Structure 1
Amino acid sequence: MTALSACLLLVAFAVLGPVLFGDRAARIDTDAINQGSSAAHLLGTDQLGRDIAARVVVATRQTLRLTLLAAAVGVGGGLLLGVAPTVTGRRLGRLITATVGVLVAFPGLLFLLFLATIFGVGSTGAVLAVGLAMVPPVARLVQNLTASVAGSDYVAAARILGVGRFRLVVRHLLPNIAEPSVLFATQAMSGILVAFSGLSFLGLGVQPPEYDWGRLLNEQLNRVYVNPVAALAPGAAVVLTGLVFALVGEVLAHAGGRRAPQREEPEPRRDDMPAPTVPDEDGSLVSARDLRVTFPGGRQAVRGISLDIRAGEAVGLVGESGSGKSLSALALADLVPHPGQVRARTLRFDGHDLRTEPKPGTELAMVFQDPMASLNPALRVGRQLAEVAEVHLGASRARAAARAVDRLGAVRIPEPERRARQRPHEYSGGMRQRAVIAMGLMGEPKLVVADEPTTALDVSVQRQVLDLLAEVREDSGAALLLISHDLAVVSQVCERILVMYGGLIVEELPVSALAAGAAHPYTRALVGAVPTMTTEPGTDLVTIPGRPPEPGETGPGCPFAPRCARVRERCRTDAPALTTTGPDRKVACWYPVDEVTARAPARTTGRESETTP
């Protein structure tokens, strides 16, 4: 609001100032020469008896106009030189980049005075000098930004499709660098204003009878001891307007990083929180109690889950996108990206407290969804695998390289010696996924976390990767946490399934009970949405209306209530706890589905379900 008010005030001065005070600012009064402040003349008069306050107000339009023109020259020239290396030939692009680098290294003030001398005195020369002096820093910023965008797949696809250079810049490059470029230009306008006013103060900018704030400061400086207000007023206008430009830049920067406002989620009451347990007593390899992942604004993506993974066990973590599956796994490995914060009452791995002790190192292996994000395209695959053994196990370079070849062979990559010398782009998608699994096996992992390892793979390769994970678990004795949104994939490998929704675990059950024994309506809907070989043609699959909640959108009741066909009033006001219903069976639902109600699907009329549990 402060920035908006200040901008409106500047616009009002620029538009209405010359109209309301133009005659008074130009009126010469020989009887009122060099007078001090008075009721008739707020800031006094100049050597011709003209009202200084009126001249400061009238000069707002000229100062802002010339500042904006110089900014347009600087930003326009910077954009042209910034994107040129991306759309021109290699030699010309290198020449432009080198030229910009030299100009950026040259002292800015000397470069400005050099340009002002070339273009001569006057407002036009000053606009060109200040604008062109701004071109190198803008061009350097744009070059750095476009370099990161130009290597993207969608830019490469546009080139292959024959998109022209102009359209490539306008549609694919500039929109993706607009935000930081606008922020930089807005904040740089403060420097442009000061530079332009400085040229006018030195007599190189605006010339009489025209005037701007820099010219007025020059005219009144020799009277600073007689009438200091008259001399300081133009300078104060420059400083305050520069602060307005900087403030607008800060507002835009803040708005650029802002998301939809989120309300703070209340912390659970201590008596509602589960009591801490000692995970090693029941043989659990991993034990977490009240695990939470919180982002700024009180947005909790994981809202207090508790889970145990026994040594050698295969556990599936399923749910829709955004349910908190991957963040839960990243929290176990201490890999939650900044500014996320992980908190838990208990978080233990193999007897070690992960809240106070170092990371588990190679005892916990991560297999990520996109292998190309885990593999450096510029390095050979064998070298990347060997680095794990060198850094974490202290192996020599030769022993690490030999182990890399051995691990590539262990994941059934043919000719591992030759493949170790290749780079990731020479691998197929399935082979890259195998290489990432081999990277996790460079140590001796006790837990392998596989985050959507079969995404974007065809069915045959998907089956091979799943078989490989099962073999790795059998050969190494490591536990497996398989994250997926595909129940069919999890059912092939895992023994127990955890179902997540809205940052919470809503059901835990054995794989054998998944098809017919799921108790939570959400789990049953997920099962019903997957066709099987026995599904009759033309059968309507289950669909879940609505969408999953975003972090911070969940209310006081059950997070699945807005989409549930069995919802009742209690579901909207009270959140059910995860309650044990049998061996390896837990469910968080007030009205779970049992064998009787499973035969009679719920019918919803209005806000209440007619089905009796």
Structure 2
Amino acid sequence: MSFAHRLRRTLRTPLGVAAVAAVAVLVLVAVLGPPLAGPAAGRVNTLAIDRGSSAAHLFGTDNLGRDIAARVVVATRLTLELTLLATAVGLAGGLLLGVAPAVLGRRAGRLVTAAVGVLVAFPGLLFVLVLATIFGAGSTGAVLSVGLAMVPPVARLVQNLTASVAGSDYVAAARILGTGRFRIVTRHILPNIAEPVTLFTAQMAANVLVSFSGLSFLGLGVQSPAYDWGRLLNEELNRIYVNPVAALAPGVAVVLTGLVFSLVGEVLAQASGRRAPHPSAEPPAGAAPVAVAPAAPPGTLVRVEDLRVSFPGGRTAVRGVSLAIGAGEAVGLVGESGSGKSLTALALAGLVPHQGEVSAATLRFDGHDMRADPKLGTSLAMVFQDPMASLNPALRVGRQLAEVAEVHLGASRAQAAARAVQRLSAVRIASAARRARQRPHEFSGGMRQRAMIGMGLMGEPKLIIADEPATALDVTVQRQVLDLLAEVRRESGAALLLISHDIAVVAQVCERVVVMYAGLVVEELPVADLAGRAAHPYTRALVGTVPTMTTDRDVALATIPGRPPEPGDRLEGCPFAPRCERARHRCRTAVPVLVDHGGGRRVACWYPVTETAELVQEGTTP
């Protein structure tokens, strides 16, 4: 989804409408103010000197009898022109210094970076006053002073953004191909940093306005006979105890216009937030090869191909997941903490946190393209790991369930309340009518989790995503919650995606297991094959860490040595290779792709384990 499309969508929100209206009013005042209010602003009337506020003169008159309200309106154009000009100076200078390290040699680039660091550390207001003394009083000197004072913070931002982009593989490839430094900057760097720089510039304009008005107030900015808001504030300050409105009018204009700039910046911030999935989104540098899901059989509810979730700073948490979930099927998503399980589920539900970027070649739910419209209504239910954080502690549980029916099903308040009690009873909460009137802190952990399941059932979900639904519960309650999920699935016919780091929990409920590691799917197999037919060493290691009734209590529990890679790490080979006893040279140099392994299984491993396989001897040619 392009920035222009997200901006148009943001402008249709109440915040966007308010920003457009405020900007329109400001532009109209700046354009029409001088021709309409100019005569009144310049008319000297010795009979009306220093008059107070009246019907004829809204803010009173000055020491020459000129209408102050008209002068404030006329000053709008010059104030905005000089503010925008100073902002342009700051932006241009910041861009030049910011991209300089990427264009200059290493030594010169370090010198520029160090110089910017010193200037950023210098107090901004003092820097403005020093520059104003150098350039002298007047509009030109004030524009240069304020504009140049804004160069260091812009340059520091651009330098940081440029450094993150300049280290990308596609920039390195452009250099190898002989692309010139200037073209690299204009073609590869600037387009990728345009959005945050634009946002920062909009927010910086408010500071420029205040700084410029401050210089004019001190007599270092606009000089007579011209005037801006700062000069008007200076002229009327000595009358603040006689006619406060006259002195406050230009100050209020500065504050309101600064708020308009901030409002525009907020709109740009929302438009520059999380990117919607886009079919043509390119995979990030260092991404794993694409593993395409097998052909979707009839009745497929969810189909995902090449799903990626990344965050600023080059951190990719999901690196190309492909999977399919059939209608009514129970699928388990397992792996260690940080393997990307929860983010994969959040991407399916359109709930990836702010700044996360989601892309997928295919992302369909019940025949609906989630990339075009992520709205799911009540067809998808989400059960989170911590129900206490998901339930509002200030609201009664029944009321929170009822809101789902009111918003999504159009039910009346009474109908929604009755349905909430019914759903609480359906998830085996005793005395449901009484419990519906209680708050979450009055529920036990298991009851809160059941209430969350009941909230998901307020509609008629086709898919239930349960993210670690029993992690914080004791064994007995954990079993009850898992049995409840299985029962709900049987009665409603909904598919279930159960996320857990505990492979034993998944084996109790699901029919098929998808194993994730380092943001990748490394194996997919039926639950019945977990114990003896798992082909990936990581899956076997997970199974081996689960104690059973026959486990020797005198022997230490099995563990997996090492730790998973970080989301920002570049995959040079199989991500599990540093922890795998079967790893060979090929495992450390090439990332395996998820391929069919027979019997409804898929595995991403160069040397998968089979029933009769022996370990490959060291030195064997791959």
> Where on the TM-score scale, by shorter chain, does this alignment land: which range?
0.5 to 0.7
Q: Deviations over 1:372-420 (max 9, x none)?
A: 2211111111111111111111111110111011111111111111111
Q: 1:413 to 1:346 in 2, by over 3 A?
A: same
- Structure 2 residue matching 1:362: 3-state secondary structure: coil
Give the Å deviation of 1:317. 0.3
Equivalent-residue separation in structure 2 for 1:284 and 1:581 (angstroms):
21
Q: Given that residues 318 and 500 in structure 1 are in contact (C-alpha distance below 8 angstroms), is that contact kept between their aligned partners in structure 2?
A: yes
What's the counterpart of residue 579 of structure 1? 595
Give the Å deviation of 1:427. 1.2
What's the counterpart of residue 95 of structure 1? none
Equivalent-residue separation in structure 2 for 1:322 and 1:569 (angstroms):
26
Matched, 1:327 2:330: no
Equivalent-residue separation in structure 2 for 1:466 and 1:532 (angstroms):
19
The aligned amino acid for 1:315 is V
What's the counterpart of residue 594 of structure 1? 610
Q: Given that residues 387 and 449 in structure 2 are in contact (C-alpha distance below 8 angstroms), is that contact kept between their aligned partners in structure 1?
A: yes
Q: Deviations over 1:278-337 (max 9, x none)?
A: 74x432111111222222344322111211111111110000111111111111111112
1:291 paired residue among 291, 295, 307? 307
Q: Given that residues 190 and 242 in structure 1 are in contact (C-alpha distance below 8 angstroms), is that contact kept between their aligned partners in structure 2?
A: yes
Matched, 1:531 2:465: no
Equivalent-residue separation in structure 2 for 1:492 and 1:292 (angstroms):
29
What's the counterpart of residue 543 of structure 1? 559
1:412 paired residue among 403, 418, 428? 428
Give the Å deviation of 1:473. 0.7
Equivalent-residue separation in structure 2 for 1:518 and 1:275 (angstroms):
20
Give the Å deviation of 1:355. 1.7
The aligned amino acid for 2:299 is G
2:327 paired residue among 301, 311, 324? 311
Q: Given that residues 300 and 324 in structure 2 are in contact (C-alpha distance below 8 angstroms), is that contact kept between their aligned partners in structure 1?
A: yes
Matched, 1:374 2:308: no
Q: Deviations over 1:422-443 (max 9, x none)?
A: 1111111111111111110000
- Structure 2 residue matching 1:516: 3-state secondary structure: helix
- Structure 2 residue matching 1:302: 3-state secondary structure: strand
- Structure 2 residue matching 1:448: 3-state secondary structure: strand
Equivalent-residue separation in structure 1 for 2:513 and 2:598 (angstroms):
14
Give the Å deviation of 1:578. 1.2
What's the counterpart of residue 441 of structure 2? 425
What's the counterpart of residue 351 of structure 1? 367
The aligned amino acid for 1:406 is Q
Q: Given that residues 461 and 494 in structure 2 are in contact (C-alpha distance below 8 angstroms), is that contact kept between their aligned partners in structure 1?
A: yes
| Percent identity of paired positions between Structure 1 and Structure 2 | 65
Q: 1:443 to 1:266 in 2, by over 3 A?
A: closer
Matched, 1:478 2:478: no
Identify unmatched segments of 5+ residues in structure 2: 1-119, 171-281
Q: 1:273 to 1:248 in 2, by over 3 A?
A: closer
Q: 1:401 to 1:188 in 2, by over 3 A?
A: farther
Q: 1:269 to 1:294 in 2, by over 3 A?
A: closer
Q: Given that residues 169 and 285 in structure 2 are in contact (C-alpha distance below 8 angstroms), is that contact kept between their aligned partners in structure 1?
A: no
**TM-score, length-scaled by structure 1:** 0.57
Q: Deviations over 1:491-521 (max 9, x none)?
A: 1111110100111111111111111111100
Q: Given that residues 565 and 609 in structure 1 are in contact (C-alpha distance below 8 angstroms), is that contact kept between their aligned partners in structure 2?
A: no
The aligned amino acid for 2:124 is S
What's the counterpart of residue 528 of structure 2? 512
Q: Given that residues 291 and 320 in structure 2 are in contact (C-alpha distance below 8 angstroms), is that contact kept between their aligned partners in structure 1?
A: no
**TM-score, length-scaled by structure 2:** 0.56
What's the counterpart of residue 298 of structure 2? 282
**Rg larger in 1 or in 2?**
1
- Structure 1 residue matching 2:378: 3-state secondary structure: helix
Q: Deviations over 1:516-539 (max 9, x none)?
A: 111100011111111111101222
What's the counterpart of residue 190 of structure 1? 124
Q: Deviations over 1:475-494 (max 9, x none)?
A: 11111100000011111111
Q: Deviations over 1:212-247 (max 9, x none)?
A: 999x899x97xx9xxx9xx97xx8998699558856
What's the counterpart of residue 462 of structure 1? 478
Equivalent-residue separation in structure 2 for 1:247 and 1:304 (angstroms):
35
What's the counterpart of residue 115 of structure 2? none
TM alignment of 1:46-445, pairs within 5 A: 189-191=123-125, 243=150, 273=290, 279=296, 281-445=297-461
What's the counterpart of residue 452 of structure 1? 468
- Structure 2 residue matching 1:538: 3-state secondary structure: coil
Q: 1:305 to 1:190 in 2, by over 3 A?
A: same
Higher relative contact order (CA 8 A, sep 6+): 2
Q: 1:263 to 1:337 in 2, by over 3 A?
A: farther
Q: 1:460 to 1:610 in 2, by over 3 A?
A: farther
Equivalent-residue separation in structure 1 for 2:131 and 2:511 (angstroms):
77
Equivalent-residue separation in structure 1 for 2:460 and 2:481 (angstroms):
19
The aligned amino acid for 2:301 is L
What's the counterpart of residue 557 of structure 1? 573
RMSD of equivalent CA atoms: 3.7
Give the Å deviation of 1:581. 1.5
Q: 1:236 to 1:408 in 2, by over 3 A?
A: closer
Equivalent-residue separation in structure 2 for 1:250 and 1:346 (angstroms):
35
Q: Given that residues 380 and 423 in structure 1 are in contact (C-alpha distance below 8 angstroms), is that contact kept between their aligned partners in structure 2?
A: yes
Equivalent-residue separation in structure 1 for 2:565 and 2:356 (angstroms):
18
Identify unmatched segments of 5+ residues in structure 1: 1-185, 198-211
Equivalent-residue separation in structure 1 for 2:555 and 2:500 (angstroms):
25
Q: Given that residues 291 and 594 in structure 2 are in contact (C-alpha distance below 8 angstroms), is that contact kept between their aligned partners in structure 1?
A: no
Q: 1:444 to 1:612 in 2, by over 3 A?
A: farther
Equivalent-residue separation in structure 2 for 1:334 and 1:315 (angstroms):
19
Q: Given that residues 276 and 345 in structure 1 are in contact (C-alpha distance below 8 angstroms), is that contact kept between their aligned partners in structure 2?
A: no
Q: Given that residues 262 and 552 in structure 1 are in contact (C-alpha distance below 8 angstroms), is that contact kept between their aligned partners in structure 2?
A: no
The aligned amino acid for 2:466 is A
Matched, 1:495 2:511: yes
Greater mean alpha carbon deviation, residues 238-247 or residues 456-465: 238-247
The aligned amino acid for 1:445 is P
Q: Given that residues 383 and 467 in structure 2 are in contact (C-alpha distance below 8 angstroms), is that contact kept between their aligned partners in structure 1?
A: yes
The aligned amino acid for 1:462 is Q
Q: 1:269 to 1:447 in 2, by over 3 A?
A: same
Q: How many residue pairs end up in the alignment?
A: 390
What's the counterpart of residue 62 of structure 2? none
Q: Given that residues 447 and 480 in structure 1 are in contact (C-alpha distance below 8 angstroms), is that contact kept between their aligned partners in structure 2?
A: yes
Q: Given that residues 293 and 324 in structure 2 are in contact (C-alpha distance below 8 angstroms), is that contact kept between their aligned partners in structure 1?
A: no
